[in-house]
Chain A
């Protein structure tokens, strides 16, 4: 059965470097998938192909809700449905927190200002930042900025959320507040693909964990299986290295 996100034979080259070597992956609607793996294994590249921040070769095929991720109108449709949260937040520094959240609904959906404002305030409340709407991003802590970035992505009411190491740039004491928000999101039925080094989060929240190495998916299984009984030697080595450091 084709998944909500369907990835077939995904090949990605950076120049001559073969970064993704034929990835096949089907992700169901509402599924929470965590992607783990060593540095340089292609995790970011994989999720950045899903909304085509990275172009990929023509013999590869990705569809989201049946819509092919190819340049043009259908890509615009996909991007309106797929939200993304980055390691470095990438908030718009010249806009207030509220304006950051309002921008895409206003421009892409044509939502009236007052309505977008209401939406922004509801989303800020949802990520626990009701009082911060008038501030600029630079006035917030890292954890708060990342929660704003999540609210900004949610403003487009996406069916899919992509996270690329959302807590890796945070001071340790702020990791928890961001993971809490993500945990709540996972319960709402939105499809999530999360690249993370937070094994605890993956174990608790993921429906399926994907281990990547060398540009390929080595092993994919529910967390209880993958963490306690990995099949592949490479998975075992990786887990051994990250779990008892």
Chain B
């Protein structure tokens, strides 16, 4: 049997391409929505962890540690299959987005914290001495300086979120991977899977290379 016929069958690819594109669209929607929601959640968690009253600080810290430890697949299955038992029935998309956001938020919080802690103490002191309050200090002085430090790890985290969207196929969400496996079943040919792998790579490889470049630039010392 010809390897090309099996794994790179252009006829099969052409026939299943619309399915893959539909899956890709859903994957991107899920990924981008989860990344954005994770950023908001992460910023809130980070500021709470650093500056709130002690009990809230402990709670967010516990949250962050737990959600960085739990396997995403487990969380996803809990949200999708276990919550209905207590009457919470979420769609596949919302379940996947919730799981991705909860975890991404925990990682993002730690990234923001490192970014804030990378800003020298003197910047806080100069702000305080000028009479800026805490909120003004954060928005006008500290966070703008943190942004540059956090961009490479945030991009990294975003790559991970996009990759993890593939797990949503286990809750029957027709994302890129799910569409590819279905196309494979329909055509009795693995080419759609190869196609899906190529699409993931086309999106994520440039992002990975971008992170390396950013990191190299930061290491050369302009922070």
Instruction: Please give, as numbers and ranges, the residues of chain B lying within 8 Å of A153 by CB-CB distance.
Output: 129-130
Q: Known: A88-B122, A90-B122, A90-B123. Is A83-B129 also a contact (CB below 8 A)?
A: yes
Indicate the member of A76, A84, A94, A153 with the most B CB atoms within 10 Å.
Answer: A94
User: B126 in the interface, Cβ–Cβ < 8 Å?
Assistant: yes
Q: B145 and A53: CB pair below 8 A?
A: no
Known contacts being A86-B122, A88-B122, A107-B136, is A94 close to B144, with CB within 8 Å?
yes
Partner of B131, one of A79, A86, A91: A79
- Contact of A92 with B141 at beta-carbon distance under 8 Å, contacts A86-B122, A107-B136 already known: yes
With the chains together, A108 CA to B132 CA distance in Å? 6
Asked whether B133 lies within 8 Å of A76 as measured between CB atoms, the reply is yes
How far apart sit A92 and B120, CA to CA, in the bound complex (Å)? 11
Given contacts A88-B122, A92-B123, contact A51 B144 (CB under 8 A): no
Given the contacts A92-B141, A107-B136, A79 and B130 also touching, CB distance less than 8 Å = yes
Partner of B129, one of A53, A91, A93, A94: A53
Q: How far is the CB of B132 from chain A (nearest CB, A)?
A: 6
Tell me whether A103 and B130 are in contact (CB under 8 A).
yes
Structural contact, A93 and B145, CB atoms closer than 8 A? yes
Residue contact A53 to B130, C-beta cutoff 8 Å:
no
In addition to A86-B125, A156-B130, A162-B129, 14 A-B residue pairs with Cβ atoms within 8 Å of each other are A76-B133, A83-B130, A84-B125, A84-B126, A92-B126, A92-B141, A92-B145, A103-B132, A103-B140, A103-B141, A104-B130, A107-B132, A108-B130, A108-B136
Q: Does A119 contact B (CB under 8 A)?
A: no
Assuming the contacts A79-B131, A80-B131, A108-B131, asked whether A90 and B126 have C-beta atoms less than 8 A apart, the reply is: yes
B78 at the interface (CB under 8 A from A): no
| Nearest-Cβ distance from residue B122 to partner chain A, whole angstroms | 4
Residues of A within 8 A of B130 (CB): 79, 83, 103-104, 108, 152-153, 156
Residues of chain A from 42 to 72 with CB closer than 8 A to chain B in the complex? 51, 53
CA distance A53 to B144 in the complex (A): 22
Instruction: Sort chain A's interface into a size bin.
Output: 20 to 34
Q: B128: CB under 8 A from chain A?
A: yes
Q: Which residue of A51, A83, A90, A93 has the most chain B CB atoms within 10 A of its CB atom? A: A90
Complex Cα distance, B126 from A43, in Å, reads 18
CB pairs A–B below 8 angstroms (8 shown): A53-B128, A88-B122, A90-B120, A90-B122, A90-B125, A92-B141, A93-B145, A107-B132
**A92 vs B126: C-alpha distance in the bound complex, in angstroms?**
9
In the complex, what distance in Å separates the CA atom of A90 from the CA atom of B120?
9
A79's partner among B120, B123, B128 (CB-CB below 8 A) is B128
From residue B146, how far is it (CB to closest CB) to chain A in Å?
10
**Residues B112-157 near A (CB distance < 8 A):** 120, 122-123, 125-126, 128-133, 136, 140-141, 144-145
Q: Which residues of B contact A94 (CB under 8 A)?
A: 144-145
B131 surroundings in chain A (CB, below 8 A):
76, 79-80, 104, 108, 156
